[in-house]
Each structure stands twice: as C-alpha cells, then as structure tokens.
Amino acid sequence: MRQNLWELLKISKERSYKILSFLGQLGIKFLSFGLSSTFCENRTTG
C-alpha cells in the first residue's frame, strides 16, 4: 500500500513539474510580449 502511494506521489510530482514548466514558458512568452508591446508603444508616442 505504501509503495503504491509512493508511486502515485512520484507520478503526480512529475506531472506537476511538467505543468509548472509549461506554465512558466507561457508566462515568459506573455511577459516578453507585454514588455515588447509597451516598449513599442512608448517609443511611438515618445
């Protein structure tokens, strides 16, 4: 029983790590896009 729980924990850990890395990549893309868009806006208005 304990081994099964450990396997489940390991699987969920790997899955959560994959989800976290995926979200991190999305966040980085979103941040870079927002920064570039605001930079372009400031450059055109200024």
Annotated domain spans of the chain: 1-46
pLDDT in tens, 1-46: 688 988 988 989 999 999 999 999 999 999 999 888 887 777 766 5
Give the number of other CB atoms < 10 A from CB of residue 41: 10
Give the pLDDT score at 45: 64
Place of tokens 């870079």: 32
Q: Which residues of 3-37 are buried (b: 16+ CB within 10 A; e: fewer)?
A: eeeeeeeeeeeeeeeeeeeeeeeeeeeeeeeeeee
